Amino acid sequence: MRRTPLEHALLAALALSVAACRHAPPPAPARTADEALREVPPSDLPAFADDLDYAGLEDAIGRSETWLARLAASDPGRTFAYGRERVPLARVQATLARFRTVVAARPAPAALRETLRREFRAFRSAGDGRGTVLFTGYYLPELRGALARGGPYRVPLHRAPDDLVVVRARDFPQVAEDLVGRVEQGRLVPYPTRADIARGALDGKGAELCYVDSALDAFFLEIQGSGVVRLEDGSSRVVTYAGKNGQRYAAVGAELIRRGALRREEVSMQSIRAWLLAHPEEQAAVLATNPSYVFFRFADDAIGALGVPVTPDRTIAADAKVFPKGGLAFLETERPVDATSATLRPFSRFVLDQDAGGAIRTSGRVDLYLGSGPYAANAAGRMKQPGRLWYLLLR
């Protein structure tokens, strides 16, 4: 929708005034980009043992390269924060190109370590202030649904409505973060909350993308960001993130802890789902305590925050304010051994920073994309493990 200069001025003024009124502290541990990464000497580098033997890595590198090429065409002066250092976009591109060449030769572990220590710099995440990062997982869930409302399919997934307005912080340097809302009588006002939408705030706007048979499955789909809707005729459609309502994200697990329904050490996706299924009369009220709401669109693949497909076991979601998006990284942590067990095993691998999430708001938390299927669902629900994270940069 085109706007007059006066409307643009009003939006800008409102954006500045709203930003100035925000006093909520950032989530802990709070880190600036300068603090988030610290360069380490070659003697402190990890073993760089990739337990997948590079499977899927070239695809993931190519997707970051695609995004960086688009960025170079639209914003060639863009730089990325590697700790206190501001790195030109071209150097990040060169890092990926050289690393692609190195791993294409499938070097032995010792040869790979020597090459990386000689040619690359490593920046370790400050994490919780002691270098420890909490690793969680996310996956591609499957839902049952239909393109038209009927039968058991009565819960809508919404596309981004036409009246959704995003005021981008990069367009207004005085604004700390993007603002989302809609225009009413020439004023930008907050977009409806999850509770408002559940009460019909989007009815009549033609925003329904499709319908599913479970409000709970729809809620967890929002947390994962993408999913597969299986239709009754045997076909399926991938749905992926298309925006959100701009309201704050509040964890349902924290609400259940506050109510005494779960102990902190019990909280997982499985335990939250089990409690909500066992208490259907409280389900709507509990879900409504999270005002944030996600909009979707149909896609050929699960798409991350960079607008490129995410790669199982190779894409991470990290805080874009403190880590370099599209960048090459290496992680060490633990994950479940199989699709049913809670037993964990160590693992490490090269990953690409290609996604973001409402709960991923500090240097101390990173989400690993696990793909789809029973193992991914189990691991995503149970994975909540400490570990270490490094970003790599060509010398």
- CATH number for the domain spanning 170: value is 2.40.240.50
Tell me the mean pLDDT per 10 residues along the chain, length 395.
38 36 41 87 90 91 98 95 96 98 91 94 93 93 96 97 91 85 94 96 95 96 92 94 93 95 90 95 96 96 92 95 96 91 90 87 90 90 92 97
Is there a contact between 250 and 291 (Cβ–Cβ < 8 Å)? yes
Beta bridge partners of 297: 240
Within this chain, do residues 109 and 84 fall inside the same structural domain, yes or no?
A: yes
Q: Is there a single domain that holds both residue 276 and residue 166?
A: yes
pLDDT reported for residue 12: 40
Beta-bridged to residue 394, according to DSSP, are 120
- For residue 261, being part of any structural domain is answered with yes
Residue 190 lies in a domain: yes
Nearest CA to 173 among 328, 290, 16, 26? 16
Residue with tokens 């309201």: 247
Per-residue model confidence (pLDDT) at position 313: 95
Q: What is the pLDDT of residue 174?
A: 81
153 with 275, same domain: the answer is: yes
Q: Does residue 29 sit within a domain? A: no
Give pTM, 2 decimals. 0.78
Q: Would you state the pLDDT for residue 31? A: 60
For residues 298 and 237, give the distance between their C-alpha atoms in angstroms, rounded to a whole number: 7
Alpha helices in 53-170 (DSSP H): 57-74, 89-104, 109-119
Domain ranges, residue 112: 36-138+305-394
Do 258 and 372 belong together in one domain? no
Q: Give Cα 227 distance to the centre of its chain.
A: 14
**Residue 6 in domain:** no
Angle at CA 117, nearest 5°, toward 114 and 119? 100
- Pairing, β 133-140 against β 365-372: parallel
Reduce the DSSP state of residue 373 to 3 states and report it.
coil
Total tally of structural domains belonging to the chain: 2
Same domain, 108 and 124: yes
Residues 72 and 139: their CA atoms lie apart, in Å, by 30
CA separation (Å) from 276 to 70, 188, 265, 290?
43, 35, 17, 14
pLDDT of residue 88: 97
